[in-house]
Amino acid sequence: EQLAAEIGVYPNPAQDRLFLDLPSELGEVSLTIRNSLGQIIARPNTPAIGGFIPTWELQNGQYWLVIATNEGQRITKPFLKGQ
């Protein structure tokens, strides 16, 4: 729960890109974007520091960014894709 609070996902709503701030102690992570039905929409690469996740191909709506660590933790961060 504390770890989830340390992860930043912005701006929210996103337009064409979503920035992700991850604490360094997380190490390697994998990312998945799911829609409101729980379907996997994308498996973006983890951005480098200062990088972003492209969202320009997503339709407007509610999404969840699922962050999975090598230790088996899963953190889910909701975000909106808007115009």
Confidence at 27, pLDDT banded by 50, 70, 90: confident
pTM for this predicted structure? 0.90
Tokens for 22, please give them.
């991850």
Q: What is the per-residue pLDDT across 43-60, written as a single tens digit (0 to 9) for each?
A: 998 887 667 999 999 999
Distance CA 70, CA 75 (A): 12
- Mean of the per-residue pLDDT values of the chain: 91
Q: What is the rounded average pLDDT of the residues 73-79?
A: 95
Residue 83 reports pLDDT greater than 80 = no
> How confident is the model at residue 49, as a pLDDT?
67
* Mean pLDDT of the region 17-43: 92
Handedness of CA 47, 50, 54, 55 (dihedral sign): positive
Each residue of 3-18: b (16+ CB within 10 Å) or e? Answer: eeeebebeeeebeeeb
